[in-house]
Amino acid sequence: MNYKTFLVSRYGGPEELQLVERHLRAPAQGEARIRVLAATVSRPDVSVRRGEALYSGTLLGQKLPFTPGYAVIGEVEAVGEKVRHVAVGARVGVLTVVGGYTEVLYWRADRLIPVPATLDPAEAAPIILNYIVAYQTMHRVAKVRAGETALIIGASGGIGTALLQLGALAGLKLYAIASQHKHAILTAYSATPIDYRTQDFVSVIRAAEPDGLDVVLDGMMRLKTMQEALSLLRRGGRMVSFGEPASRGELLRILGLALRTKVTPNGKSLSLYGTSTYFLFDQKSYLEDWATLFQWLEAGKIKPVIAARFPLLEAAQANALLESGAVIGNVVLVAPEAARQ
């Protein structure tokens, strides 16, 4: 028996996502074979396909050929020898970084994330990457408190809309930056919208919050914007940046800014957050936070904004939509089995 998977053999546009067939094999020792039910389509997927990614463990990006796909929800259909962490039939999530655009995924059984089987796989999939980033930047790093003022930079995408929901849930006073045609989603979560194309966000915030902000959550990671946002923090203010710098040079300059902020005693802090690196060294806190988020999803406290659901084997079309810049929220690939749920 065979299964289908996407393969990128050369860097480029969505057309470089080519479907290939692979032989279905038994899982190796310590491995689980997972039938993919849903996979997110995210900005890192686009960057790694283009050959622009700076996050895959090095500054060199992902070696060719590879299968993109940062996060999936699936069902375990077979396990290898000495697997004790998961059973056949279990619903699981995987933070793949690469490898998620596939019908079948082989993964280390001790790196699987328990997922309640009652959840819609398409709604559960954004929890694996976008919501864990939002939750941890907000609660693990910035350590927000109810009543604080916070600015979200890049507020309309998958992580941005997660930050809006979690910020409202945490009792924050929110300001949010996005293009004007996406402002409805910002105001839906009681955030004050700022149009980056027509407004100077520094002037807007200084007029509205003369004493400064408590928190900045920056999903754009652009040096100039980071410097301007740091100037808006009050003493004791915290800024957390995550995402993908525009270039290696930009990354080095951002690292320099973070170092200068750390050694300069001005009462402000700047932290840089990266998901895949953190998971390698702090699996316990990740599993705790995913469990919390899945509980909130089950209880209706959060609900991922899904702009579009595509069939699992239409990853090229889904990538094209994401790259159009028109997306508000998440784009998700869904297997036929999950679409029927």
Q: Which tens digit of pLDDT belongs to each residue from 184-226?
A: 999 999 999 999 999 999 999 999 999 999 999 999 989 999 9
Residue 187 shares a structural domain with residue 95: no
**Residue 30 neighbours by CB under 8 Å, 6+ apart:** 80, 81, 82, 83, 108, 109, 110
> What's the pLDDT score for residue 60?
45
> What's the pLDDT score for residue 277?
55
62 HSE (CA, 13 A, CB side): 29
Residue 229 shares a structural domain with residue 322: no
Mean pLDDT taken over the chain = 92
Q: Does 197 reside within a domain? A: yes
Residue 97 shares a structural domain with residue 168: no
Domain boundary among 276, 294, 318: 276
Reduced to 3 states (helix: H, G, I; strand: E, B; else coil), residue 339 is helix
> What's the pLDDT score for residue 87?
95
> What's the pLDDT score for residue 262?
82
pLDDT exceeds 50 at position 58: no
> What's the pLDDT score for residue 59?
39
Residue in the block written with tokens 């699992």: 312
Q: Does 18 reside within a domain? A: yes
Residue 153 shares a structural domain with residue 29: no
pLDDT exceeds 70 at position 56: no
Q: Does 296 reside within a domain? A: no
Residue 237 shares a structural domain with residue 183: yes
Residue 205 shares a structural domain with residue 319: no
**How would residue 243 be classed by pLDDT, with cut points 50, 70 and 90?**
confident
Q: Does 71 reside within a domain? A: yes
**Residue 291 neighbours by CB under 8 Å, 6+ apart:** 114
Domain boundaries, position 272: 129-276
> What's the pLDDT score for residue 322?
96
CA distances from 333 to 50, 200, 306 (A): 20, 36, 11
> What's the pLDDT score for residue 54?
64
pLDDT exceeds 80 at position 264: no
Residue by residue, DSSP assigns 139-161 as IIIS---TT-EEEEES-SSHHHH
**How would residue 78 be classed by pLDDT, with cut points 50, 70 and 90?**
very high
Residue 159 shares a structural domain with residue 270: yes
Q: Does 286 reside within a domain? A: no
> What's the pLDDT score for residue 251?
83
Residue 82 shares a structural domain with residue 15: yes
Decide if 23 contacts 2 (C-beta within 8 A). yes
Higher pLDDT, 101 or 250: 101
Mean pLDDT of 76-88: 95
**How would residue 338 be classed by pLDDT, with cut points 50, 70 and 90?**
confident
Residue 265 shares a structural domain with residue 156: yes
Residue 105 shares a structural domain with residue 133: no
pLDDT exceeds 60 at position 278: no
Structural domain tally of the chain? 2
Residue 134 shares a structural domain with residue 69: no
In the chain, what percentage of residues exceed pLDDT 90?
A: 82
Q: Does 10 reside within a domain? A: yes
Mean pLDDT of 172-193: 96
> Which residues pair with residue 31 across a beta bridge?
108
Q: Does 14 reside within a domain? A: yes
Domain boundary among 258, 276, 294: 276
Residue 173 shares a structural domain with residue 40: no
Q: Does 215 reside within a domain? A: yes
Task: Name the pTM for this structure.
Answer: 0.94
User: What CATH code is carried by the domain that includes residue 75?
Assistant: 3.90.180.10
